[in-house]
Chain A
Amino acid sequence: MSLTRSEEWYLNMGPHHPSTHGVLRFVVKSDGEVIDEVKPDIGFLHRGIEKIAERLEYNQIIPYYDRVDYLAAFNASWSYVMAVEKLLGIEVPPRAEYIRVILGELNRIISHLISVGSFALDMGAVTPFTWAIREREVVNDIFEMVTGSRLTYNFPRIGGVYQDVPEGFREKVLQFCEYFPPKLKEFNDLITYQKIFIHRLANVAVITPEQAIAFGLTGPNLRGSGIKYDLRKNRPYSVYSEFEFDIPVGTGEAGTLGDAYDRYMVRIREMEESCKIIKQAIEKMPDGPVRAKVPRKLKPPVGDVYAATEAPRGELGVHLISDGSSRPYRMKIRTGSFAAMSIVNEVSHGLMIADLVALIGSLDVIAPEIDR
């Protein structure tokens, strides 16, 4: 008989816990600090957007998509308008596509900024978060200038965007592209190459490429496992095929391929790539209308359509089923965070509680996107 004896206990992490990024709950079965099993409990932010959408006209649904992922509202509503455009076969004017690309990439940058900033916060470093927020403000100002709001933009429309960009937009965006890379380097010096930070993340919560595919991970989480798959390159939508940019993938530079640090690094590198895209897009932006002629009452053909964009949290897909009326018969939103959450239990066995925080932070889940 051994003198020491350990018992497993259940820890209730959330719904109100500093590192759950919204309202999530994890029922953690652990032996002291070492985790045995994690049962995610989601749905605290379920607003039933899919149900609401069945009663709304196609163009009334757009604002709801801003709330699907409020950190990347533009990308989310872009997915939706793309699905409807595909369903109706609408050609979007090129200027509108360019505006969408610029705003979408700006939105990716600020979403990733929040992601890496709050990730550092989870790791116990407070300063990187405020620095990230500081950079984010600059982009928020650009968004305010173009769309009138700073978080939920409600800007894309079926067949284009709401309005043309105002005077001075071009200069402001170019200014940001000059301003941002040095600031990102500063941020990296502060936290990314920090010894303790690397030690905390290397070899932690490893997701193998096979696991990543099987669980349907998308976006930076999939690429962090070393799989070069990005909708912008692999299923080019909008005008992405006209730009030159790289798809950063995880390389296992700090430890194992697919660990938390890889996923984090993919986000850092993606911000640089986004900057490149924005620069090219703003140079190439053609003149012309920003909205196609779209009938007031939309009557799409009967059938299914699935369209997806590469949102900051991975593929944000919209599956629309139309019955020929002016309202969608069924709308399904497929989000990256939902897939990311489903893998938590699989990889969390044997982690410590501090590592679980790192895992959740590195998956970059946000509650509204999981629950919809």
Chain B
Amino acid sequence: MLQLFNWLIKTFPSLASHQELTAFVLFIILGLLVLTFAAVVAGSLTYFERKVAARIQSRMGPIEIGLGGYIQWVADAIKLLLKEDIIPENVDKILFRLAPYFAFLGAGLTYLVLPFSEKLILADLNVGVLYFLAVSSITVIGILMAGWASYNKWSLIGGIRSAAQIVSYEIPSALAVLPVVLYAGSLSTQDVVRAQAGWAGFHWMIFQNPFIFISFFVFFISMLAENNRIPFDLPEAESELVAGYNTEYSGMRFAMFFLAEYSNVFILSAFAVTLFLGGWQPLFGLSLKIPGTAVDLWKLFSFFFKTSIMVFLVLTIRWTLPRVRIDQLMGLCWKYLVPIAFFDLFGVMFWMVL
């Protein structure tokens, strides 16, 4: 973003006198772009998920509305926009209204440090990984607020479950990221990706050493849990808690939760790819002879291709597995994932020293 700003100032010298204003406008435009991107990604993901689910369940999925049903998610979004926004009596109105935005904030802010390509990143923070870990747990505030404000015991249980779950799983996910950071020697997401350069994926983090290989699975499982995906979707377990924290929500506010959930699926996959699977490092190295700008496109494509495969994995898991129970969930975290993650961390340290 800084580069973009500098480039703007350089190209249009007249802007130099209004630097603050320019930065502000740039912020707004980029923010809107991120929102649009998030919405499109989340929407496409709903279509993708429905199609995958349909294949798994031997159904058709959406087929009616445009391009083999692809426009379905737009129709759904319009429907949700037009729906009455019901705010029940007795709810804590301020918290109830705010909650969806907080839930989305956690998802939206992480786009900031997501390296789509070598040049395409909103802000290459030097603490990018840390930022990602910190920001992604803002979602829990939104969910807790929603559960508390809804004045509904099922929502409350959902909110509390979610808080316990996300806070617990922060630990293994952070610990699982640390080996990567150690190996790359930097907290910047771009640097982590750059550290994985090489031919045909043998330099991806996941193949660097056996401890990181295990770390990847720890990270993946804890990210699934942090994002409330099956088999860890206890906060909204529909057969137990009706719909959990979003029971009382309707219309656009519900859509915000939905958006957050699907953005999170994308982000979970994207970060798994960034940290462990080579990020935007081009597939097949650069053994393919591609001219200048096409290389960037190929990098972008590589990133999205790998991310799509991860998303597909997440969706397949969702439509195959049953849900775990809350005590098993906590047991998995504290009895297995945290020790394993620690073990990995020390393993990587020794590996690097020796």
Q: In this complex, which of B157, B233, B323 has the most chain A Cβ atoms within 10 angstroms of its Cβ?
A: B323
A200 and B325 contact, Cβ closer than 8 Å, known pairs A130-B58, A134-B58: yes
Stretch of B10-18, B116-124, B235-243 lying at the A interface: B235-243
The answer to whether B106 has its CB under 8 Å from any CB of chain A is no
A197 and B242 contact, Cβ closer than 8 Å, known pairs A124-B231, A131-B58: no
Among A19, A125, A194, point to the contact of B240 (Cβ < 8 A): A19
8 Å CB interface, B327-350 against A: 327-328
A200 and B239 contact, Cβ closer than 8 Å, known pairs A33-B157, A130-B57: no
Q: How many A-B residue pairs have CB under 8 A?
A: 79
Q: In the docked arrangement, what's the CA distance between A9 and B152, Å?
A: 12
8 Å CB interface, A186-214 against B: 190-191, 194, 196-197, 199-200
The answer to whether B319 has its CB under 8 Å from any CB of chain A is yes
The answer to whether B321 has its CB under 8 Å from any CB of chain A is yes
B320–A123 CB distance below 8 A? no
B242–A200 CB distance below 8 A? no
Residues of B within 8 A of A122 (CB): 239
A125 and B58 contact, Cβ closer than 8 Å, known pairs A9-B153, A19-B239, A353-B157: no
The answer to whether B326 has its CB under 8 Å from any CB of chain A is yes
Using CB atoms, name the residue of chain B closest to A17: B242
A355 and B239 contact, Cβ closer than 8 Å, known pairs A130-B57, A130-B59, A196-B231: no
Q: In the docked arrangement, what's the CA distance between A127 and B57, Å?
A: 6
Q: In the docked arrangement, what's the CA distance between A134 and B327, Å?
A: 34
Among A124, A127, A353, A357, point to the contact of B56 (Cβ < 8 A): A127
A124–B323 CB distance below 8 A? yes
A352–B327 CB distance below 8 A? yes
Q: In the docked arrangement, what's the CA distance between A127 and B157, Å?
A: 26
The answer to whether B230 has its CB under 8 Å from any CB of chain A is yes
The answer to whether B322 has its CB under 8 Å from any CB of chain A is yes
8 Å CB interface, A112-130 against B: 120-127, 130
The answer to whether A354 has its CB under 8 Å from any CB of chain B is yes
A355 and B321 contact, Cβ closer than 8 Å, known pairs A11-B153, A19-B239, A124-B230: no
Using CB atoms, name the residue of chain A closest to B233: A124
Q: In the docked arrangement, what's the CA distance between A197 and B323, Å?
A: 8
Residues of A within 8 A of B320 (CB): 125, 127, 190
A199 and B324 contact, Cβ closer than 8 Å, known pairs A17-B242, A357-B240: yes
Using CB atoms, name the residue of chain A closest to B323: A124
The answer to whether A18 has its CB under 8 Å from any CB of chain B is yes
Closest Cβ of chain A: how far from B37's Cβ, in Å?
A: 29
A124–B239 CB distance below 8 A? yes
Residues of B within 8 A of A191 (CB): 322
Using CB atoms, name the residue of chain A closest to B327: A352
8 Å CB interface, A10-27 against B: 11-12, 17-19
A125–B57 CB distance below 8 A? no
Using CB atoms, name the residue of chain A closest to B331: A199
User: Mask for B238-266, Cβ within 8 A of A = 1, else 0?
Assistant: 11111000000000000000000000000
Residues of A within 8 A of B58 (CB): 130-131, 134
B321–A125 CB distance below 8 A? yes
Closest Cβ of chain B: how far from A136's Cβ, in Å?
A: 13
A123–B323 CB distance below 8 A? yes
Residues of A within 8 A of B325 (CB): 199-200, 352, 354-355
Closest Cβ of chain A: how far from B230's Cβ, in Å?
A: 6
Closest Cβ of chain A: how far from B60's Cβ, in Å?
A: 12
Closest Cβ of chain B: how far from A5's Cβ, in Å?
A: 16
Residues of A within 8 A of B324 (CB): 196, 199-200
8 Å CB interface, A312-368 against B: 352-355, 357
Q: In this complex, which of A9, A33, A120 has the most chain B Cβ atoms within 10 angstroms of its Cβ?
A: A33
Residues of A within 8 A of B240 (CB): 19, 353-354, 357
A194–B326 CB distance below 8 A? no
Q: In the docked arrangement, what's the CA distance between A33 and B325, Å?
A: 11
8 Å CB interface, A164-196 against B: 190-191, 194, 196
What are 24 A-B pairs with beta-carbon distances under 8 A? A9-B153, A11-B153, A19-B239, A19-B240, A32-B157, A121-B239, A123-B239, A123-B323, A124-B233, A124-B321, A125-B320, A126-B53, A126-B57, A127-B56, A130-B59, A131-B57, A131-B58, A134-B58, A194-B321, A199-B324, A199-B325, A200-B322, A200-B323, A354-B240
A interface residue numbers (CB < 8 A to B): 9, 11-12, 17-19, 32-33, 120-127, 130-131, 134, 190-191, 194, 196-197, 199-200, 352-355, 357
